[in-house]
């Protein structure tokens, strides 16, 4: 493989495709591959971050209209992820790359949460009693669930904990140029008690904003190459649009096994890069 337009488009299309099927950003695949192709890690992070806006917005446009996305919850949580992402991106510009490799490998492991979650059929409880802040913020929602064939309505709780926790998700996303989708989904489900579909859709929506916040820092850093970022954006957008259309037709198990194999390979690569870089 060499660093050329075709390789980058194909890799990003694969990442966007798998990403949209699993519900994770494409950055987890694109960044290690760029790094293997010889792009310095910080540059890979900066260029991949901008393209997350495309993959997130593409699928979010459908989820928003189906009312799966909780816009109010997203707006409230974005206050925290935006702060986190701006700080995170700034840290990345300042720290030595060696540490970033290890941090990246460790964070890739959090993607396993997203995969494990998809294997469980989660029973959701509605009608939770809300605390005062969550109620004041009007954090509730309802949507039509096709697989259950009924309206699902829910109330979000513990907004005072969910917000600060999202700062950490934003921080990691900004530092590593990824969506940190698995981490965001975990906060939505475990702390805020959102139902799985609303949780994934809202996480996806927030990723676009976190990516923009991180990009505001990287765009000024002189690391963004328009040909590289443009190639990733084109590939990832096409891949994620194709993935969201094919989703119902592909066996979940095949995708997960494929993704796990890719993920383990990339984690090992990043650890190796971290050990050998000076």
Partner 1 sequence: MRRPTLEEVIGYILIIGVTTSLIIESAGLALYVVGKGAIEIDLSDPEAYVRSRDFFAYIIDVVSSVLGNPNYVDVMALGLVLLMLTPYLRVVASVVFFAFSRNYKYVVITLIVLAMLTVSLIAH
150-155/140-145 β-pairing:
antiparallel
The residues near 21 (Cβ < 8 Å, ≥ 6 apart) are 243, 246, 247, 250, 255
Contact between 178 and partner 1 by CB under 8 A: the answer reads no
Contacts of 163 (CB under 8 A, 6+ apart): 76, 77, 79, 80
Query: Is 242 or 260 the residue whose CB approaches partner 1 more closely?
Result: 242
Q: Does 268 interact with partner 1 (rule: CB under 8 A)?
A: no
Please count the residues of this chain forming the interface with partner 1, following the rule CB under 8 A: 58
Min. distance of Cβ 103 from partner 1 in angstroms?
22
Structure tokens belonging to residue 188: 């939505």
- For residues 200 and 233, what is the distance between their CA atoms, to the nearest angstrom? 22
- Show contacts with partner 1 in window 200-259 (CB under 8 A): 208-209, 211-213, 215-217, 219-231, 233-234, 237-238
Q: Return all residues near 117 (Cβ < 8 A) that are at least 6 apart.
A: 185, 189, 196
Q: How far is the CB of 19 from partner 1 (least distance, A)?
A: 15
For residue 190, the minimal CB distance to partner 1 (Å) is 23
Q: Out of 36, 67, 133, 271, which residue is the one contacting partner 1 (CB under 8 A)? A: 67
Query: Please, what is the minimum distance in Å from the beta carbon of residue 272 to partner 1?
Result: 22
- Candidates 6, 3, 78; CA nearest to 38 is 3
Contact between 179 and partner 1 per CB under 8 A: no
* Binding of partner 1 by 136 (CB under 8 A): yes
Q: How far is residue 146's CA from residue 68's CA, in Å, rounded to a whole number?
A: 11
8 binds partner 1 (CB under 8 A): yes
Report the C-alpha gap between 157 and 161 in whole angstroms.
9
- Those residues whose C-beta lies under 8 Å from the C-beta of residue 278, and which sit 6 or more positions away, are 98
State the Cα–Cα distance between residues 118 and 80, nearest whole angstrom. Answer: 26
Stretch that binds partner 1, among 18-26, 68-76, 108-116, 178-186 (CB under 8 A): 68-76
Q: Which is nearer to partner 1, 76 or 107 (CB)?
A: 76
Shortest distance, CB of residue 255 to partner 1, whole angstroms?
23
Stretch of 63-71, 96-104, 152-160, 249-257 lying at the interface with partner 1 (CB under 8 A): 63-71
Site for partner 1 in 22-51 (CB under 8 A): 39, 43, 50-51
Question: Burial letters for 231-254: b for 16+ Cβ neighbours within 10 Å, e otherwise?
Answer: bbbbbbbbbbbebbeeeeeeeeee
Residue numbers at the binding site for partner 1 (CB under 8 A): 2-6, 8, 39, 43, 50-51, 53-54, 57-58, 60-62, 64-65, 67, 69, 71-72, 75-76, 78-79, 82-83, 86, 136-138, 208-209, 211-213, 215-217, 219-231, 233-234, 237-238
């Amino acid at each position: 493989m060499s660093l050329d337009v075709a390789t980058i488009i194909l890799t990003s299309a694969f990442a966007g495709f798998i990403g949209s099927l699993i519900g994770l950003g494409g950055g987890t695949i694109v960044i290690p591959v760029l790094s293997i192709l010889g792009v310095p890690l910080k540059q890979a992070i900066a260029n991949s971050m901008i393209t997350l806006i495309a993959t997130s917005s593409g699928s979010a446009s459908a989820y928003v209209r189906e009312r799966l996305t909780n816009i109010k919850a997203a707006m409230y949580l974005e206050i925290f992820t935006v702060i986190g992402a701006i700080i995170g991106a700034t840290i990345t510009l300042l720290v030595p790359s060696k540490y970033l490799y290890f941090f990246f490998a460790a964070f890739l492991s959090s993607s396993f949460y997203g995969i494990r979650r998809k294997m469980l059929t989660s029973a959701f409880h509605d009608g939770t009693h809300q605390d005062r802040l969550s109620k004041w913020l009007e954090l509730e929602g309802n949507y039509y669930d096709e697989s259950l064939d009924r309206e699902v309505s829910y109330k979000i709780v513990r907004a005072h904990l969910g917000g600060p926790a999202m700062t950490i998700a934003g921080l990691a996303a900004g530092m590593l140029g990824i969506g940190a989708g698995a981490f965001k989904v975990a906060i939505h489900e475990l702390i805020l008690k959102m139902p799985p579909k609303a949780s994934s859709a809202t996480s996806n929506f927030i990723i676009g904003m976190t990516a923009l916040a991180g990009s505001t820092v990287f765009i000024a850093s002189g690391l963004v190459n328009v040909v590289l970022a443009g190639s990733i954006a084109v590939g990832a957008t096409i891949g994620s649009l194709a993935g969201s259309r094919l989703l119902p037709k592909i066996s979940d198990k095949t995708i997960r096994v494929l993704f796990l194999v890719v993920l383990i390979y990339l984690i090992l690569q990043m650890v190796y890069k971290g050990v050998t870089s000076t």
